[in-house]
Amino acid sequence: MWISDIHGHLSPAAALEYFDLWCHLQVIVLSQEPDTISWRWTENGTYSASSCYNALFTGSTSSKHWRLIWKSGAPLSVKFFLYLASVNRCWTTDRLERRGLPHEPACVLCSQHDEALHHLLIGCVFSCIIWHGILSWCCPEIPVPDGTLDFLRWLSSALDTIAMEKRRGLSTIAALTAWSLWRHRNAVIFDKIAPSSASLLMVIKDDARSWAYAGAKGLSNIILVV
């Protein structure tokens, strides 16, 4: 088919693609050498399974604290929440405001400050009450976070101060507590419940025991399962 004939046989979009391909082919010079196959992800052009696996992650990013997130004994949904939190992708008030979306004027748990993820998980007065209640229950040697570090950096620092056999349990209970604070915040906004530290502490402790019964590794080293 000649270029002059394609208008009556192809759609406008297909005709443009055809013409673009034709232009690219004009500069190709064929030789008598046989064709060869070269794998672009290795220096010698030879395919390997490991180079293919590494190529899958080209351009990807990783969380600085990925081990704290993915190696805890928490369910996958909680780990995914922590990943979103690590890259600041949770829809807190500050993020909603930047995008011009409807949002609450202040943190719904304390009504004292603007809500940001750091504030919600570790800087809010309500959150501090929850952390104090949980840590005094299962890891009294760990100081309550004071807001000077973000959640994952505080957890990383706390893990360095306790015995090895307690570390996975602490990372799991910390993941549960952070996730429960997020869920409680959402229930206050969307279900119109009143914030309650007493009820949230009870929920977290009951969930921790259930996770331990279900086989969450490490939790039985820091909590009493009855």
- The Cα-based distances of 183 to 90, 177, 188, 191 in angstroms read 12, 10, 9, 11
CB atoms within 10 A of CB 25: 8
User: pTM of the full predicted structure?
Assistant: 0.76
101-136 pLDDT, tens digit each: 999 889 999 999 999 999 999 999 999 999 999 999
**Dihedral (CA of 56, 60, 64, 65) sign:** negative
Smallest CA-to-CA distance from 64 within 152, 132, 184, 182 is with 152
162-212 pLDDT, tens digit each: 999 999 999 999 999 999 999 999 999 999 999 999 999 999 999 999 999
